[in-house]
């Protein structure tokens, strides 16, 4: 096995942008997706009502979780990010079969937004639709990024 090259204080830094900049650049699209998704969720809530507003909000919840997963792990595959987002969303929904989320939701607006309060089986389908939407958008973004000659996101 060859020995690792030795470096000294006089060794020049590798060419290219600093690693910190690369990490920020890799996460920027996901962070922008988080902002856009939150804005879309607030817009749907403000402008619509009824079943569409409720289930669109549920789908966007999973899209948001997907974007957060990608922000944390930029090179995650669209399928894995969607699976993680869907598993989290379903876990939160199934937790609503216990009294814990409802109790926490009464005490905190943030807990109500994140955990909800009551179980709804139809919500599970809305979360699946959101995961599919997020995976599709993520796959398209990766394809566009690759088409422009960049490394995968």
Mean pLDDT of 10-25: 64
Which tens digits make up the pLDDT trace of 34-58? 999 999 999 998 899 888 988 999 9
Q: Residue 6: what pLDDT?
A: 58
Name which residue leads in pLDDT, 67 or 6: 67
Could you tell me the two tokens for 87?
């598993």
Could you tell me the two tokens for 89?
């969303």
As a whole number of Å, the CA-based R_g of the chain is 20
Residue 78 and residue 138 in contact, taking contact as beta carbons nearer than 8 Å: yes
Counts for the chain of helices (H) and strands (E), in that order: 6, 0
pTM reported for the whole predicted model = 0.80
């Amino acid at each position: 096995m060859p020995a690792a090259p030795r470096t000294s204080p006089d060794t020049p830094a590798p060419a290219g942008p600093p690693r910190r900049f690369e990490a920020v650049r890799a996460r920027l699209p996901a962070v922008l997706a988080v902002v856009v998704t939150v804005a879309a969720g607030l817009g749907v809530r403000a402008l619509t009502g009824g079943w569409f507003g409720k289930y669109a909000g549920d789908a966007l919840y999973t899209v948001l979780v997907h974007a957060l997963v990608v922000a944390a792990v930029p090179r995650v595959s669209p399928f894995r990010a969607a699976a993680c987002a869907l598993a989290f969303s379903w876990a939160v929904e199934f937790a609503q079969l216990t009294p814990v989320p409802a109790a926490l939701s009464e005490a905190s607006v943030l807990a109500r937004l994140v955990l909800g309060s009551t179980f709804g089986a139809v919500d599970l389908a809305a979360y699946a639709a959101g995961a599919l939407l997020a995976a599709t958008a993520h796959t398209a973004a990766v394809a566009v990024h690759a088409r422009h000659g960049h490394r995968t996101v």
